[in-house]
Amino acid sequence: MTGGDDDLNWRVEQACREGWPAATEVIVDGWLLRRSGGRIRRPNSVNPLRGKRAGPEETLASAEAFYAGHGQAPLFRVPDIASEMDAVLDRHGYAIEGGTIHLVAGIDAFKVSRDTQVTVSPTPGESWFEARFRMGAYDETDSRIFREMTTLIVGEKAFVSMEIDGAIVAVAFGVIRDGLLVLESVETDGRFRQQGLGRRTVGSLIDWARQAGASAACLQVVADNSPARALYASLGFNRELYRYHYRRKAIAT
């Protein structure tokens, strides 16, 4: 089911953006230019803001100048709810990548409870970071940037993990913004997949958010990640709000 609630769309858009803050964020005529360095796309992209925005050609020129000044390739994140950049990016040779879906569900739709084997903490410990980087195959730069990002999060947050034989094998974190739980960094060690660990870990995070007063939960999942989509559907994420993709053009050499 695809959502058509414009207000909810933009609330989710903002909550998800704030759930993964960028080191530098600059607003230019209704567009948010985000920069953190590293390979992670979301905090290194141009994003539309709700309301009046500058036109695509003007925005393209501003963004290309901004990212060129930092030695980065310009990257646009284009959501279905504000897709006016697509036509001009087509003309300027920007390729499409990273198709992603926004999912949402009311907090009472989840039939989950806290798992006593899942650790819930307001801050990530060193073992949590180590597991996250190992499972996500982060290099040294992205690991440093991710650590710094977690210190920038505003709002109630929780970092959850599950151990087997003294080693963390599943992690996730969540942030509550505007009454919405934003689910992030859901990872399970490849040796322990298909054992329900992701469901137990995320379920405990949802239960934490329910106790904290969240009214709904939302997340972003890569469109072709079938295992992740199956996990979220089994938990109760059955409403698709909208999709987005990225547009990238390499720096000329």
Same domain, 113 and 54: no
For residues 60 and 85, state if they share a domain.
Answer: yes
Q: Determine the Cα–Cα distance for residues 120 and 117; give it in Å rounded to an integer.
A: 10
Residue numbers of the domain that contains 166: 105-242
Are 94 and 123 part of one and the same domain? no
SS3 content of the chain, % helix, strand, coil (to 5): 40, 30, 30
Count up the domains in the chain and report the number: 2
Instruction: Look at residue 139 in the predicted model and tell me its pLDDT.
Output: 94
Q: Which residues contact 193 (CB under 8 A, 6 or more apart)?
A: 227
Q: Can you give the pLDDT at residue 190?
A: 87
215 and 181 within one domain = yes
Report the pLDDT value the prediction gives residue 80, as an integer from 0 to 100: 97
Residue 219 covered by a domain:
yes
pLDDT of 223:
96
Note whether 133 and 93 are same-domain residues: no
If asked whether residues 238 and 115 sit together in one domain, one would say yes
Residue 253 inside a domain? The answer is no
How far apart are alpha carbons 8 and 5 in whole angstroms?
A: 5
What is the model's pTM?
Answer: 0.93
Q: CA-CA distances (angstroms) from residue 237 to 1, 49, 221?
A: 10, 25, 11
Task: Copy the structure tokens of residue 166.
Answer: 């003294």
At 251 the pLDDT is: 56
7: number of Cβ within 10 Å:
8
pLDDT at 253: 44
Q: Are residues 175 and 238 in the same domain?
A: yes
CATH code where residue 197 lies = 3.40.630.30
Examine the domain organization and report whether 151 and 203 are in the same domain.
yes
**DSSP 8-class letter at 109:** G
Residue 70 inside a domain? The answer is: yes
Please, what are the averages of pLDDT over each run of 10 residues along the chain (253 residues)?
Answer: 76 97 97 96 97 97 96 96 97 96 95 92 97 94 97 96 95 98 95 90 96 97 94 92 93 51
The per-residue pLDDT for 19 is 97
List the beta strands (DSSP E) in the chain.
Answer: 24-28, 31-35, 46-48, 75-79, 95-106, 118-121, 156-164, 167-177, 180-188, 216-222, 239-248
